[in-house]
Each structure stands twice: as structure tokens, then as C-alpha cells.
């Protein structure tokens, strides 16, 4: 190549080298701090973290476990912002000393319920640096847990498929589970995806009705007891006793973080699957479009187009109205078609002769309000068993769609496809131009351009922007950028954009023998495709929730020390508190030591 150095605005830093250090490692000239850790008190009356005296009551007022999605929202208080974090799941063996997997106690179980969900915490900006610290006991601080009240909204709310003995209305759910990635809406709320909810529900194997059994199986529900054994303490986690409770999870949740008394909702119009998250773009005509991936090998990419238009402004009344936008509209699933001859997508992973994995695609409508477009399924069935609807219409089976986010600058949509080791060279699970590598360990990032730039369009163009891995691997691709000038990257998971329009990618499950991390890459211009690693995370952790502001970068350091055989007594990481301590999932903040903007 002719590349002679330099980097895009916002990405001018010396990349961090791949490593196995039990720390957050940042570029030269940058500093870091921890914003908040699992167990830090945030609500009035909550005690300080005490690993030897954990209780459900304490945890309900403390920051939850395994922070994932993060966002920072503006606040009308000087030097303060509002932080929202998801708490995806609990790692009991890393939480409780002497954890006995066969005999969890009620207190441990209820503590785990309280460690799930979301946190809303006001954070204070340091006057001199990019550091942030939590403001405890602020009246906006809030915990939402596995037992908080939620309202089901949209066309499937009240459906027989959503009724339980505790809730004969089919509209009121207790809790949210496995909240993974998410999105920030233009109207000041957050969206959060309920992902691997199947793991909390026991005894699907005891279901006899073949149709019910097949539906459960399509969502990964089979077998007997769950690993956490919550079903021992609440019948709703036992599918053989409460068959519809599981249908009340797997939705996109919306929370108004500015109103701590608001009841969060679950939007049935966006369908039910293992939502990684959801991200919104406002179309030119004011309608709202939400994109969401179903994170499972061979599952689908979806979008929803609202029928109503957004109400401008940030008033509480506008926010309440806008929280109904995702209840009325049309749900679509994506079908990708390659433009290269099938013979050139041959399982070798080599680029086709036109030089790109690319092509066209269509959004296939599944349902709109009470109308189903899927033969043999009612609209309610489409919303509750959305995966089966995607199967019926021939949607494209993708390599694990994780975060999906439109660029606020260009409207182009970036889809993290994290990996798919079960992809084969040929057959029903065989490669296609959008998923071109068999035994795909490292994943790819797909760029989707809606027809005429119209977010509501039913047609699109696409290309693989990155095919991840070691740049020396001939199957990798970095948008054509010279491969000797990029950082290796593996298993893209969450994406976000900085103020310059650069894409930032966090990884989960790096298969290159080094730790996960955060990367920045320009998506246009002369540095397009120049992937640069900004940080790495400690042993056993994945990187999620990236937020990139002008003067700070935040990441969720999720499950530090999650390595087979590790326990609280024998930890695999001592981040962030240091030698002699157990690891704590936490939010890290990074800024430039000289106070200058990130990457300037
Ligand atoms: Fe929870 Fe798909 O990552
Ligand atoms: Ca092509
Ligand atoms: Ca994720
Ligand atoms: Ca992940």
C-alpha cells in the first residue's frame, strides 16, 4: 500500500498491543479510573459493599453485577450526567464465598435477582480531567431488578400467550433478565435487550404438547433444572408449572431514566427473540426506525418502522408520548443477497473477484399491528414466536447478530456479527456472501445502506466492512486498508460512534490468544478501515457498553475473572481492587492526561 502514517481525527493515539495483562491497558498519555463497581451503594440507605455479608436488601440498593450496555445522558445539573447501565447476568461462583451450586440458598437467589436488571446513577465530572465518580443517594438514582414491575405494551400485550396465574391480564411482568446491549433514544430514554432469557427457565423438557415443545426448543429451552435453580424459589421459573412466564422475557425494554417513578415497558411490537439490544434512527418523515439483532448462531437481523412520528423536544410530556412510538408499526426481518457468483463464495473465505463481499437485500414484513404477513401464524404468534416467523419467510441466517447501530452522521447501519463456529462450507448451514467463512471464529462487521438513504425503505445495499481476525490471515479484510497497519481484532460485539463519526467496536471472546478490548476505526475517508486498539481489559473479562465522548471513553468491564475453575477464594483476576481481592465487574473511564480531546 501507499499508506504513510497518520490517523483519522479522533483516532490519533498509539494503539495498545495485544496482551494478557490483568488490568485495563490504555494508550500512552492516557489515564484511567473506575466510575463504579458491583456492590457500590447508589440508593439512600444502601450499605457499603461487604462480600462477606451480602443480602438481597443490600444488593437492591447497590450497583448490580456484570454491567453491559452503558449510556450517558445530559443532566441539567452543572458538571453532571446520568449514567444508565445494564446488568446482564450473575456469576454466583465469583460472587459468593463457598458457593454450593447444588444447594443455593434463598438469600443468595434473591441477591442474584437484585443483581440483575439496570442501574441509573448520576455521575459527577472531575473539573480537571475526564474522570467520573458516582453521586450516591441522588434522587434520580434507581435500581431495576428481576422483580421490578414492568408493563407489556404493543399489539401482543394482553395476549393469551402472555397470561400467567399471577397476571391474568397478560400486561404486567415482574422483572427483566439478561439485559445485554441497548441503545439511547433521541427522546432521552434507553432501550435494553433481554437476551439469553432461556437459561432462567427450568423443565421445558417436561412439556408434552409437541407444538409447545417445538416453540420452546426454537428459543433454546429444553431439559430439566437450570444452573441457578431459581425454580426452587419461584414457580414462575418452572415452565412445567407456569408455561407462559417465559414468553414475558425476550423483549426490548424501554426505561425513562429521568423519572424514577416511571414503570418501564416491554415493547411487543419489536418481536421476541434473544435481543442483543436495539438502536433507533429517526427517518426524514419523523417516523422512528429501530434495528435489533438476535444473538444466536444462524439467527436474524430485524427492523421496526413506527407508524407515528416523533414529537420533538425533551419535555417529560414529549418523552411519555415518544415512549409509545415503538408500539405501533411494522416489524421486518432481513434477507441478504450477494452480488458475486455463488461459485466464488466457495468456503475458502477468499474475496470474490469483484473485490468485496457485498450485495443487496430486502426487509421482509412480518406483522403490523394485528395483521400478520406470515402464512399460518397470527400476529400475536409472530410477535411472541418471532424466530419461527423469520424461519417461515426465508430470512438470512447470520453469524450471530450482536449490536446493530446506525451512524448518527451517515445513517448507514453497522452490524456486529460476532462469530459462528458452526458455519459450514456447504449445505443448509453453509456460507453465503454475507457470512462467507466456514468455522468463523472471529466474526465480521456488516455495513447496511438503506435504499435512497431512507430508513423506512424495504430495500438496502450492504457490504462487509470488516472481516475480523489476525491481519496476516488471508481471509481478513479491513475495508481495503493496508493490513500491515491495523490492529488484530476478533469477535466484534458492541458498537458506538464518536463525535467525528468514527466507529468504535468492543469485543467479546477474542480468539487470537489475547484479551478483549476496544477499537476505533474510521468508516469513511482516507483512513477508512484502519482499526486501532484503544484498550484491553483484564483476565476473563469482555469489553462492552462503549461510550465515547469528546474527553472520555467509558467501557463496561464485564465478568473479570470468569475463567473455568475460578472462585472467590481462588480468583483468576483481582481487578479492580488489586492483590488479595475478588474481581468486581465495573465501569472504567479513560481520558487524556493532558486534558485534550480523545484521539486528537
Ligand atoms: Fe450478551 Fe450477545 O452478548
Ligand atoms: Ca461481491
Ligand atoms: Ca453483547
Ligand atoms: Ca457478548
8 A C-beta contact, residue 573 and residue 555: no
Closest ligand 1 atom, residue 274 Cα: 2
**Which residues, in sequence order, are CB contacts of 102 under 8 Å at separation 6+?**
none
Q: Which ligand is nearest to the CA of 274?
A: 1
Residue 402 near ligand 1, beta carbon < 6 Å: yes
- Give the count of domains, the chain: 1
* 278 found inside a domain: yes
* 223 found inside a domain: no
* 218 found inside a domain: no
Residue 542 near ligand 1, beta carbon < 6 Å: no
Q: Which ligand is nearest to the CA of 177?
A: 1
Residue 88 near ligand 1, beta carbon < 6 Å: yes
Q: What is the mean pLDDT of each run of 10 residues along the chain (600 residues)?
A: 75 97 98 98 97 97 98 97 98 97 98 98 96 97 98 98 98 98 98 98 95 97 96 98 97 98 98 98 98 98 98 94 98 98 95 97 98 98 98 98 98 98 96 98 98 98 98 97 96 98 98 98 97 98 97 98 96 96 98 97
Task: Give the distance (Å) from ligand 1 centre to CA of residue 402.
Answer: 6
Residue 296 near ligand 1, beta carbon < 6 Å: no
Closest ligand 1 atom, residue 68 Cα: 1
Task: Give the distance (Å) from ligand 2 centre to CA of residue 470.
Answer: 22
Angle (nearest 5°) at CA 57 between 55 and 58: 65
- Express each pLDDT in 323-345 by its tens digit: 999 999 999 999 999 999 999 99
Residue 416 near ligand 1, beta carbon < 6 Å: no
* 41 found inside a domain: yes
Residue 276 near ligand 1, beta carbon < 6 Å: yes
Q: Which ligand is nearest to the CA of 340?
A: 2
Residue 91 near ligand 1, beta carbon < 6 Å: no
Q: Domain containing 369: what range?
A: 30-195+250-592
What is the predicted pLDDT for the residue at 2? 47
* 517 found inside a domain: yes
Task: Give the distance (Å) from ligand 4 centre to CA of residue 160.
Answer: 32
C-alpha cell at 574: 483481582
Closest ligand 1 atom, residue 508 Cα: 3
Task: Give the distance (Å) from ligand 1 centre to CA of residue 180.
Answer: 5
Residue 180 near ligand 1, beta carbon < 6 Å: yes
Q: Give pTM, 2 decimals.
A: 0.98
d(CA 36, CA 67): 10
Task: Give the distance (Å) from ligand 3 centre to CA of residue 213.
Answer: 28
C-alpha torsion 550→556→561→563, nearest 10 = -110
What is the predicted pLDDT for the residue at 392? 98
Closest ligand 1 atom, residue 400 Cα: 2
Residue 295 near ligand 1, beta carbon < 6 Å: yes
Closest CA to 58 of 50, 66, 46, 67: 46
Calculate the alpha carbon distances from 141 to 62, 180, 259 in Å: 10, 20, 10
* 491 found inside a domain: yes
Task: Give the distance (Å) from ligand 1 centre to CA of residue 46.
Answer: 29
Helical pair 386-393 and 210-218, crossing angle rounded to 10 deg: 90
Task: Give the distance (Å) from ligand 2 centre to CA of residue 357.
Answer: 4
DSSP string covering 162-205, please? G--SS-TTS-EEE----EEEEEE-TTS-EEEEE--GGGG-B-GG
Closest ligand 1 atom, residue 544 Cα: 3
What is the predicted pLDDT for the residue at 522? 98
**Interface TM-score (ipTM) > 0.90:** yes
Q: Estimate the share of the chain in helix, then strand, then coil, as percent rounded to the nearest 5.
A: 15, 35, 55
* 234 found inside a domain: no
Task: Give the distance (Å) from ligand 4 centre to CA of residue 50.
Answer: 28
* 215 found inside a domain: no
Residue 194 near ligand 1, beta carbon < 6 Å: no
Residues lying with their CB under 5 A of ligand 3, a single-atom ion? 180, 493
C-alpha cell at 58: 443490600
Amino acid at each position: 500500500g501507499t499508506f504513510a502514517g497518520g490517523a483519522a481525527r479522533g483516532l490519533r493515539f498509539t494503539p495498545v498491543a495485544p496482551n494478557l495483562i490483568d488490568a485495563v491497558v490504555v494508550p500512552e498519555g492516557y489515564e484511567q479510573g473506575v466510575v463504579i463497581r458491583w456492590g457500590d451503594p447508589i440508593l439512600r440507605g444502601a450499605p457499603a459493599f461487604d462480600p462477606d455479608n451480602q443480602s438481597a436488601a443490600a444488593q437492591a440498593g447497590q450497583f448490580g453485577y456484570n454491567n453491559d450496555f452503558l449510556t450517558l445522558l445530559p443532566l441539567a445539573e452543572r458538571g453532571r450526567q446520568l449514567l444508565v447501565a445494564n446488568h446482564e447476568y450473575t456469576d454466583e461462583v465469583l460472587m459468593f464465598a463457598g458457593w454450593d451450586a447444588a444447594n443455593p440458598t434463598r438469600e443468595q437467589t434473591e441477591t442474584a435477582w437484585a443483581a440483575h436488571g439496570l442501574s441509573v446513577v448520576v455521575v459527577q465530572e472531575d473539573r480537571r480531567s475526564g474522570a467520573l465518580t458516582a453521586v450516591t443517594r441522588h434522587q434520580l438514582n434507581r435500581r431495576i431488578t428481576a422483580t421490578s414491575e414492568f408493563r407489556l405494551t404493543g399489539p401482543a400485550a394482553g395476549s393469551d400467550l402472555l397470561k400467567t396465574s399471577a397476571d391474568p391480564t397478560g400486561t404486567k411482568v415482574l422483572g427483566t433478565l439478561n439485559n445485554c446491549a441497548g441503545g439511547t433514544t433521541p427522546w432521552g430514554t434507553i432501550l435494553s435487550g433481554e437476551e439469553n432469557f432461556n437459561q432462567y427457565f427450568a423443565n421445558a423438557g417436561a412439556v408434552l404438547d409437541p407444538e409447545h415443545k417445538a416453540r420452546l426448543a426454537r428459543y433454546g429451552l429444553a431439559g430439566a433444572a437450570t444452573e441457578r435453580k431459581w425454580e426452587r424459589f419461584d414457580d414462575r421459573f418452572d415452565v412445567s408449572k407456569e408455561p407462559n412466564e417465559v414468553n414475558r422475557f425476550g423483549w426490548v425494554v424501554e426505561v425513562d431514566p429521568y423519572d424514577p417513578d416511571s414503570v418501564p415497558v416491554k415493547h411487543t411490537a419489536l418481536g421476541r427473540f434473544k435481543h442483543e439490544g436495539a438502536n433507533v434512527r429517526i427517518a426524514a418523515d419523523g417516523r422512528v426506525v429501530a434495528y435489533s439483532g438476535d444473538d444466536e448462531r444462524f439467527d436474524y437481523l430485524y427492523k421496526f418502522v413506527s407508524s407515528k412520528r416523533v414529537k420533538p423536544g425533551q419535555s417529560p410530556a414529549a418523552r411519555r408520548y415518544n415512549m409509545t412510538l415503538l408500539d405501533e408499526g411494522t416489524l421486518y426481518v432481513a434477507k441478504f443477497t450477494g452480488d458475486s457468483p455463488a461459485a466464488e463464495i466457495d468456503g475458502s473465505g477468499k474475496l470474490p473477484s469483484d473485490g468485496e463481499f457485498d450485495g443487496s437485500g430486502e426487509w421482509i414484513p412480518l406483522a403490523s399491528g394485528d395483521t400478520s404477513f406470515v402464512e399460518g401464524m397470527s400476529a400475536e404468534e409472530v410477535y411472541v414466536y418471532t424466530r419461527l416467523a423469520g424461519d417461515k419467510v426465508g430470512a438470512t441466517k447470520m453469524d450471530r447478530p450482536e449490536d446493530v447501530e446506525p451512524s448518527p452522521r451517515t445513517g448507514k447501519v453497522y452490524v456486529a456479527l460476532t462469530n459462528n463456529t458452526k458455519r459450514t462450507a456447504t449445505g443448509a448451514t453453509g456460507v453465503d456472501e454475507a457470512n462467507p467463512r466456514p468455522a468463523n471464529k472471529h466474526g465480521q462487521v456488516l455495513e447496511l445502506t438503506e435504499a435512497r438513504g431512507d430508513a423506512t425503505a424495504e430495500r438496502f445495499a450492504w457490504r462487509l466492512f470488516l472481516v475480523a481476525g489476525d491481519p496476516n490471515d488471508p481471509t481478513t479484510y479491513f475495508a481495503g486498508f493496508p493490513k500491515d497497519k491495523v490492529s488484530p481484532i476478533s469477535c466484534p460485539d458492541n458498537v458506538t460512534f464518536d463525535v467525528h463519526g468514527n466507529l468504535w467496536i468492543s469485543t467479546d471472546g477474542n480468539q487470537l490468544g489475547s484479551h478483549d478490548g476496544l477499537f476505533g476505526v474510521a468508516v469513511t475517508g482516507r483512513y477508512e478501515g484502519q482499526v486501532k486498539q484503544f484498550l484491553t481489559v483484564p483476565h476473563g473479562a469482555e469489553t462492552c457498553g462503549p461510550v465515547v465522548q469528546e474527553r472520555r471513553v467509558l467501557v463496561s468491564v464485564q465478568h473479570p475473572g470468569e475463567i473455568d475453575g475460578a472462585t472467590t477464594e481462588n480468583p483468576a483476576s483481582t481487578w479492580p481492587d488489586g492483590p488479595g481481592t475478588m474481581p468486581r465487574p465495573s465501569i472504567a473511564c479513560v481520558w487524556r492526561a493532558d486534558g485534550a480531546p480523545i484521539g486528537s
